[in-house]
Chain A
Amino acid sequence: MTASMSNSMSRRGLVAGIALAACFTGYSVRLVYLQVTMHETYVGMAAKQNAHTEPIYARRGEIFDIKGVPLAQNDPVRTVVADGSLIKDPDRLAQILAAPLEMPVDVLRAKLSRKVKAKTSNELVPLRYIVLKKGVSEIKANEVSALLPDLVATPNKKELPISAVQAIRFERDFVRVYPNASLACHVIGFVNDSGVGMDGIESSMNDKMQGRDGYRFVERNGTGGELVLYRGEDRPRKDGSSVTLTIDLNLQQIVENELDVAMKTYRPKNATVVMMNPFTGEIMALANRPDFNPNAVPIIDKKKVNPMRNIAITDQVEPGSTFKVVTVAAALSEKLVNLETDIQCENGYWQWCKLHDHSPYASLSVRKVLIKSSNIGAAKIGMQLGDQRFYEYARKFGFGDTLKVNLPGEIRGALPAPESWDHITLTRMPMGQSVAATPLQITTAMCAIANGGMLMIPQIVHQVTDEERTTEYKPQERWRVVSKRATEQVREALVEVVGLKGTALLAAVPGFKVAGKTGTAQKPDEHGHMNHEKYVVSFVGFMPAENPAFVMLVIVDEAKVDHENNYGGKVAAPIFSRIAAKAARYLDLQPTEPIPLPGGKQARSESSADVRDQ
């Protein structure tokens, strides 16, 4: 090899090397440009083609009764969703899906053809997330899912491109169900189509029960399968908190069964029962009639009573004679009277203020004012208290203001201040006229008598449980209303109201001492005059009188019975008695009084020792 040949080879090698290096440099520069400079653009384009955001629906918190029985649950369903960008023939797909989804073709076609303005240009592009139908059951969704490829491939019809099949997805979702149907419907409430609570606990605890939906950026391959490896940013769902109520479903069932019987017997406009634990303020049962099924919320008929109204807190009634308890308790607490103080009852008619008693009494002791339910007696006791003091006591008993129960729509009732009273108002209010209260207010006031004088805040939520902890809602005392001694005296008198000489013998429960008070209030007509045909009758009492397990109010509005029988003692008291007897059995309350046997004998309240002796 000569030196010239060697030089020539070296030069050629150098040229080739430089050419190759230039080539690779060019490719490298291009590669860097594509991978680094244009990275975001191309990732965006790829994502636009194959990736989308998939919502992860949060589960709404469930509702339970105090024993853990479910009252509101989530039934798993599917939401049928379409990706418009993958649909080439919306008309054909609409025809295919209409029958299995049980939807009109026109509606489906309109949904599948929806377009939106593109983000980068003014061009209209197909919507990539179209909700076709919500609440499709798992079984139905599986059927449609399996059916779709077959339908598309029907030989007689023009085939759809495979992307149209991929365009339909079945996302997991939930629909709210109430397994006990109308039971406790006014307490539980219901949710709207978007899953937002509209009434009852569903509404008042909506923020806690709603939870927060999550999402996930999902990339799919050519066959529509998810590329799990390329999952993007993830925000996990946060399920809503579950709420445990103070309601006991068994007591609720007892109450509602008796309300149904009462509705058939008396055919009233509406009726309400509230049962509370006087020592904790827990609402053990609350029911109204008419009612509704929250699984199928009715359309409101303006001519009829709205069945969705929770009358116990949204409506006010004149409490009538049940309010005499407030008057007497206040006077006893102030030591203005004792149970044996004589009250002049004007022989049944008090000329000065045109006030009647249903029977003429010359004078009655304070005890008998309650037992006989004397209007004149109550008015005179109220006058001894004076307007300001009477008003303050009524306020302390919880009237004229909301009780702040955890349910929506609670009203204040009506308790006018003394400045707006006329000269006879103080004779009317002590007997429960010129004042309006919600059924819950009347029950809560009686709780204060039953528990020794403390006003409790009515409680409907027992506890709230989320993924991390359980928050208990403790009983809350509001304030002392009257002295313990005064409540003991009132209780003594109220036991006699349910005795042979009282107005509420029909409220008696064999084996137990019941304390309570009847109420009968005339309703005004549309002109504001008292209607002698329409009455709101009530009974509020507690049992056992010595150590109350519950306080219960029964209100029946416009019962269809004779004028002579339309009294709290004749209509509401028997309902109280039946519910209380069943509740006593359920709560396993030990009888303290003799129980009459069918043969006319009397059974003693048993104990193991008694049984052994027999």
Chain B
Amino acid sequence: MSANRRRHINALPGIKLLMGFTVGTIALLTGLGYVYCQNQLHRMSDEKGKLEREYQRLQTLTEAVEVTVAKLSSPQELKKKFDNGFFKLNEITTDRIVRIGPATPGFEGKELRAISNERGNP
């Protein structure tokens, strides 16, 4: 066997191996990455589903509370409470009401102005 042929048989195809290894690693990482991403996608979508359900639950709760508040503050309900003595009303007769005239229009600047008891325009 000539020296030339021996060198040909024993030589390791380093570059090819390296390329194969690199391609294999990339394929492996891609595959693993894909699986990881898929898992993440499932996990996140489950999380999204949970948050949606929680949001809906809170929204429903808010709506139910709003309805209850409206019912409890309706005139009929307040009248019932009034009839049951839950609260009382003091009547203020018309002749007891003091009406204050509208305030005099203010100055636009920051200057001080004298206090006046005069009424503004009715």
A294: CB under 8 A from chain B?
no
B71: CB under 8 A from chain A?
yes
Q: Are A73 and B95 in contact (CB under 8 A)?
A: no
For B63, the closest partner residue in chain A by CB is: A76
Q: Are B49 and A228 in contact (CB under 8 A)?
A: yes
Q: Are A229 and B41 in contact (CB under 8 A)?
A: yes
Q: Of the 9-residue stretches A176-184, A185-193, A420-428, A454-462, which lies at the interface with chain B? A: A176-184
Residues of B within 8 Å of A229, CB to CB, are 41-42, 45
Among A509-529, those with CB < 8 Å from B are: 510-511
Residues of B within 8 Å of A591, CB to CB, are 94
Q: Which of A74, A180, A227, A597 has the most CB of B within 10 A?
A: A180
Q: Are B75 and A180 in contact (CB under 8 A)?
A: yes
Q: Are A76 and B64 in contact (CB under 8 A)?
A: yes
The one of A74, A253, A510, A606 that contacts B97, using a Cβ cutoff of 8 Å: A606
Q: Are B64 and A180 in contact (CB under 8 A)?
A: no
Q: Which of B49, B94, B97, B99 has the most CB of A within 10 A?
A: B94
Distance, CA A447 to CA B48, complexed state (A): 58
Distance, CA A595 to CA B98, complexed state (A): 13
B interface secondary structure, majority? helix
B67: CB under 8 A from chain A?
yes
Q: Are A595 and B76 in contact (CB under 8 A)?
A: no
Distance, CA A227 to CA B100, complexed state (A): 67
B70: CB under 8 A from chain A?
yes
Q: Are B67 and A595 in contact (CB under 8 A)?
A: no
Q: How far is the CB of A376 from chain B (nearest CB, A)?
A: 40
Distance, CA A551 to CA B43, complexed state (A): 65
Distance, CA A611 to CA B95, complexed state (A): 12
B46: CB under 8 A from chain A?
yes
Residues of A within 8 Å of B22, CB to CB, are none
Q: Are A138 and B67 in contact (CB under 8 A)?
A: no
Q: Are A179 and B74 in contact (CB under 8 A)?
A: yes
Q: Are B45 and A253 in contact (CB under 8 A)?
A: no
Q: Are A226 and B95 in contact (CB under 8 A)?
A: no
Asked if A181 meets B94 with Cβ closer than 8 Å, knowing A608-B101, A609-B101, A612-B117, the reply is no
Distance, CA A34 to CA B67, complexed state (A): 54
Asked if A183 meets B45 with Cβ closer than 8 Å, knowing A606-B99, A607-B119, A609-B119, the reply is no
Asked if A608 meets B56 with Cβ closer than 8 Å, knowing A181-B76, A253-B75, A585-B94, the reply is no
Distance, CA A73 to CA B45, complexed state (A): 33
Q: Are B117 and A73 in contact (CB under 8 A)?
A: no
A15: CB under 8 A from chain B?
no
Q: How far is the CB of B61 from chain A (nearest CB, A)?
A: 8
Q: Are A172 and B56 in contact (CB under 8 A)?
A: yes
A603: CB under 8 A from chain B?
yes
Asked if A608 meets B119 with Cβ closer than 8 Å, knowing A226-B49, A597-B95, the reply is yes
Interface size class of B (residues with CB under 8 A): 20 to 34
Q: How far is the CB of B55 from chain A (nearest CB, A)?
A: 12
Q: Are A607 and B99 in contact (CB under 8 A)?
A: yes
B25: CB under 8 A from chain A?
no
Distance, CA A591 to CA B97, complexed state (A): 10
Q: Are B94 and A511 in contact (CB under 8 A)?
A: yes
Asked if A228 meets B76 with Cβ closer than 8 Å, knowing A138-B60, A595-B94, the reply is no
Residues of A within 8 Å of B42, CB to CB, are 229
B54: CB under 8 A from chain A?
no
Distance, CA A590 to CA B74, complexed state (A): 28
Q: Are A590 and B99 in contact (CB under 8 A)?
A: yes
Q: Are B74 and A181 in contact (CB under 8 A)?
A: yes
Distance, CA A290 to CA B109, complexed state (A): 60
Q: How far is the CB of B45 from chain A (nearest CB, A)?
A: 4
Distance, CA A154 to CA B100, complexed state (A): 75
Q: Are A179 and B119 in contact (CB under 8 A)?
A: no
Residues of A within 8 Å of B56, CB to CB, are 172
For A609, the closest partner residue in chain B by CB is: B119
A249: CB under 8 A from chain B?
yes
Distance, CA A69 to CA B76, complexed state (A): 14
Distance, CA A76 to CA B64, complexed state (A): 6
Residues of B within 8 Å of A611, CB to CB, are 98
Q: Are A138 and B64 in contact (CB under 8 A)?
A: yes
A548: CB under 8 A from chain B?
no
Q: Are B98 and A183 in contact (CB under 8 A)?
A: no
Could you show 9 A-B contacts with beta carbons less than 8 Å apart? A75-B67, A138-B60, A172-B56, A179-B71, A597-B95, A603-B94, A607-B119, A608-B98, A608-B119
Q: Which residues of B contact A (CB under 8 A)?
A: 41-42, 45-46, 48-49, 52, 56, 60, 63-64, 66-67, 70-71, 74-76, 94-95, 97-101, 117, 119, 122
